[in-house]
Amino acid sequence: MIAKYRFADVNVLIKTDFEFELINKFDEFRYEFGKPDLTYEYYMQNGFETPDYPPIYTDSFCRVYRKDGITYRYFTAMPDNQYNALITDEAASDGVFKVYLQGLQEPVYFTELRLFNYFAVEHAMALFGGVLLHSSYIIHNGEAILFSAPSGTGKSTQADLWHKHMGSLIVNGDRSLLKIENGAIKVHCLPYCGSSNISNNITAPLKTIVILRQAPYNKITRLRPAEAFKHIYSECSADIWYENDVRVIGDIIETAINTVPVYKLECLPDKDAVHTLAGALGIECK
């Protein structure tokens, strides 16, 4: 089965030797093109052998190994810490990634969402100069406002408040992709949106990044570059074992903090929080 997508100006081709279910929320990202920029080939495999050498990175979701210049990422989301998928960049120089899924004896219907979960999207986008920022992404007056913070801080709440009180468009409730274009930051959407289930394939110039913190009051502070860099970096998705990926993140954050204001908004989930930020941005409140 073949499916084609385009996001952040990158043409992506998925090829499988099994059927998978198409999901409505991916409709906006399906796109017909000639030559792909990236190809993902998915294969079924019955089990994975544990490498006999130590990993270069490990966390609760994956282990990363490198041997003879090839990087192997094993996903470990199954019970008993077994591997359920492997992605290798063995042929990444040709724009082809191979993904091996834990095989089942009987044919099953996979979904686009499951395939994209093993996409290593943060690395794929870094190859094209993009970085993923954990943030709610809204557009107001044609410009992107990003609310960034750890999960549970209220990113989606503030986005909803701007939609309700300012008429802003919510583009993505959980992720945004930043790229440098002509010396400025453009914000793109990806089909990853967490529990918000909001993902619209729209691109806009960046107006500001807002670091959210819950508080019993509403207060806004413009951050100095060093502090802004620290907060933004902590919410970026990065494969730190790739030197280029880390360099891309640094370049993008540096461009962002030198071209747009970065604020810390200590706030309540109310209309006054919207007015507090809007006042700092010079936006007239409704």
Judge if 73 and 196 occupy the same domain.
no
Judge if 187 and 241 occupy the same domain.
yes
| Residue 125 covered by a domain | no
**Residue 90 pLDDT:** 61
Identify the H or E element spanning 41.
Answer: strand 38-45
Judge if 46 and 188 occupy the same domain.
no
Final residue in a domain of this structure, among 119, 138, 164: 119
Do residues 87 and 120 lie in contact, with contact meaning Cβ atoms separated by under 8 Å? yes
Please tell me the pTM assigned to this model: 0.91
Average pLDDT, whole number, for the chain? 89
| Residue 286 covered by a domain | no
90: containing domain: 2-119
Final residue in a domain of this structure, among 99, 119, 139: 119
pLDDT at 79 over 60: no
Judge if 208 and 277 occupy the same domain.
yes
How far lies 33's CA from each of 3, 13, 30, 41, 285, in Å?
11, 9, 10, 17, 42
What is the rounded distance in angstroms from the CA atom of residue 97 to the CA atom of residue 41? 6
pLDDT at 87 over 70: yes
- Domain count across the chain: 2
| Residue 72 covered by a domain | yes
Task: Report the range of poorest mean pLDDT among 6-15, 69-78, 146-155.
Answer: 69-78
Judge if 170 and 277 occupy the same domain.
yes
Final residue in a domain of this structure, among 78, 94, 119: 119
Six-digit token string for 231? 């907060």
- Count of residues for the chain? 286
pLDDT tens-digit map of 25-63: 888 899 999 999 999 999 888 878 888 999 999 988 889
